[in-house]
Each structure stands twice: as structure tokens, then as C-alpha cells.
């Protein structure tokens, strides 16, 4: 059975692998590392890339925090309030904001939680194009389905549905992007051991570069206009709204006294809000907005 050290070591090595792959793809910028400690216990490695050839801002963060279990976590985990049980939360989280409006934003996190005999894995990966290309959306989902199907035939349909429902901006009545997969509280049961759950989480993490880099290469040389850039800023605004209002990882980090700079690195470097912006009929922007107003099946 994998213990917390094995799991932590995997997340650290995954951070190294992903950062190296993104640096190679960018070809200009490199990640800057910031080590930090949490007063109550634990810490992490925040790595940020900025002003690159293609990546305007991105962060790939490893963290492992521990200490007395906060009251809200006791309630969530089903731990009696009067019990003093320490918790551990470790994982990797990343967000990449490209400078090119036809290269999509991507987010991924893989994480592990334990308190006493209670443990579970969570995570997911999702894509937020500024302009939706249906063919690329299908490629992304086919890739995720292949990863999921290796571990369970139920994973992809269940976790895709979860992502569709989770990455939804309710006050805008639109999806954040084209979704992906999202899962939480994957613990042991009659069907899955801890080793099997961990193997799946590892596969999701290791699939990141092969899922994302082809989309970067397909689009980075395309020409674009100032109107395309302005639309990109508007879509970044929607991304920021979701992360600040709904994102569970952001809320968890802030209420557990995590490092604010590391938590909020998911926000774009520049964004825009324009009152009642309505795209022109038959435009690429209007087409994208129509697709975002529904939870698309992206049939694979």
C-alpha cells in the first residue's frame, strides 16, 4: 500500500517532469522556484513561468501541508469534533495562461488527503479555450477517455459528467471551457484498492504533457488580430470569476492558511470585463459563446 512519502515523492517528481516539458515547449522562459513553509506545518514549492514565447503566465505548484485538523475538515471527513486527529494534504496543481488567443488555458490538479484511517484522492484536468475548436475538444476528451478506460470503464463517463457540472459558471449560465474530468474522495472500497486509486491518479498526472502540448503546437503559429486579443481578455475574466467564486481548491487553500501567492497564481496576468458584451453574429466569438452556453457532449 503506498504511504504518504511515496505519494509525496510522486507529486514532487511530476512537478519536475511537467516543468521541464513546458520549458522545452516554450523555448524562452524558465520556471522560477519559490520555497515556502506553512506555520502550522508543511510547505511547498511554487514554480512560476512568465513572459515566455508562448506562456504568458503559468504555475506548477507542489504542496504538502499538515497539522491539527481544522473544524471544517473534520465535518467534511466525518471526524468527531472532539477528536484531535492531524491531517495531511499533498498534491500538485497547475494553471497555464498562454499569450496566444488560439492556444487554450489548461488546469490540472492531483491530490491526496488523509486524517487518521481516513484517506482519499482527488483531482482532474480541464481545458479552457478562448476559441473552441470542436476537433481539438474531441482530441482532448479522447485522450482523457483512454487514460480513464485503462483503469475503469466507469471513470470517464462519471468524471466527465462531474467536470461538466463542476466547471460551470452559474451566474453566467455558461461552462468555463470544454471540461475534462473531475473526481474527488476516491477511497478504498470493494472494487478499488489504494494502489489502484493511486495508479489512476498517477496516470492522469503523467498524461498532462501529451494532452496539452499538441494543442500548443497546433495553434502557436496562427496569426491573430487585436480583436482576438480583446476576446482573450474577456474569457480570462470569466476564468477569474470561476476561480474566485466557485473553485474548491482556492477556498481550501485560503481557509487552511495556505500561501496566498501560491493559491492565487491561477489567476491570469491580465483580464477584462466589458459591460454586456455581445459578439457579432456569425463570428468566431459568437460560435464559441453558443458552445459555452450548453454542456456539450464532445462525443468520443
The residue assigned the cell 502550522 is 40
36 DSSP β-pair partners: 44
| Annotated catalytic residue, options 107, 130, 141, 143 | 107
∠ CA(74), CA(78), CA(84), 5° rounding?
45
| Spatial distance between the Cα atoms of 82 and 65, rounded to a whole number of angstroms | 22
CA dihedral 153, 155, 160, 161 (to 10 degrees): 90
Residue 275 burial (CB < 10 Å; 0-12/13-18/19+)? exposed
Active site residue 107: yes
**DSSP of 92-105:** EEEEEEESSTTSPE
Q: Are 112 and 131 in contact (CB under 8 A)?
A: no
Decide: 136 and 218 in contact? Cβ < 8 Å.
yes
DSSP states along 198-226: HHHHHHHHHTHHHHHHHHHHHHTT----H
Beta carbons of 236 and 272 less than 8 angstroms apart? yes
- What does residue 15 show for φ and ψ, rounded to 5 degrees? -60, -45
Residue 237, CB-side half-sphere exposure with 13 Å CA sphere:
13
Q: Look up residue 208 and give its three cell numbers.
A: 498532462
Q: Which residues are catalytic?
A: 107
Amino acid at each position: 500500500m503506498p504511504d504518504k512519502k511515496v505519494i509525496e515523492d510522486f507529486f514532487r517528481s511530476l512537478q519536475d517532469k511537467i516543468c521541464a516539458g513546458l520549458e522545452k515547449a516554450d523555448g524562452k522562459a524558465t520556471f522560477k522556484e519559490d520555497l515556502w513553509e506553512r506555520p502550522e506545518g508543511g510547505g511547498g514549492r511554487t514554480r512560476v513561468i512568465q513572459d515566455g514565447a508562448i506562456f504568458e503566465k503559468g504555475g506548477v505548484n507542489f504542496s504538502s501541508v499538515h497539522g491539527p485538523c481544522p473544524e471544517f475538515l473534520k465535518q467534511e471527513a466525518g471526524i468527531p469534533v472532539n477528536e484531535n486527529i492531524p491531517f495531511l494534504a499533498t498534491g500538485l496543481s497547475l494553471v497555464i495562461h498562454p499569450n496566444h488567443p488560439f492556444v487554450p488555458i489548461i488546469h490540472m490538479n492531483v491530490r491526496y488527503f488523509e486524517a487518521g484511517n481516513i484517506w482519499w484522492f482527488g483531482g482532474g484536468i480541464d481545458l479552457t479555450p478562448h476559441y473552441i475548436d470542436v476537433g481539438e475538444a474531441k482530441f482532448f476528451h479522447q485522450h482523457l477517455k483512454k487514460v480513464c478506460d485503462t483503469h475503469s470503464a466507469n471513470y470517464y463517463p462519471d468524471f466527465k459528467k462531474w467536470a461538466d457540472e463542476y466547471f460551470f459558471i452559474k451566474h453566467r449560465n455558461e461552462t468555463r471551457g470544454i471540461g475534462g474530468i473531475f473526481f474527488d474522495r476516491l477511497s478504498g472500497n470493494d472494487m478499488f484498492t489504494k494502489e489502484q486509486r493511486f495508479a489512476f491518479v498517477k496516470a492522469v498526472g503523467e498524461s498532462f504533457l501529451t494532452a496539452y502540448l499538441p494543442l500548443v503546437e497546433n495553434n502557436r503559429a496562427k496569426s491573430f488580430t487585436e480583436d482576438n486579443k480583446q476576446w482573450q481578455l474577456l474569457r480570462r475574466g470569466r476564468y477569474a470569476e470561476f476561480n474566485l467564486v466557485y473553485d474548491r481548491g482556492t477556498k481550501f487553500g485560503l481557509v487552511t492558511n495556505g500561501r496566498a501567492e501560491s493559491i492565487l497564481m491561477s489567476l491570469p496576468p491580465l483580464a477584462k470585463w466589458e459591460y454586456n458584451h455581445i459578439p457579432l453574429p456569425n463570428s468566431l466569438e459568437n460560435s464559441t459563446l453558443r458552445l459555452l452556453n450548453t454542456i456539450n457532449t464532445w462525443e468520443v
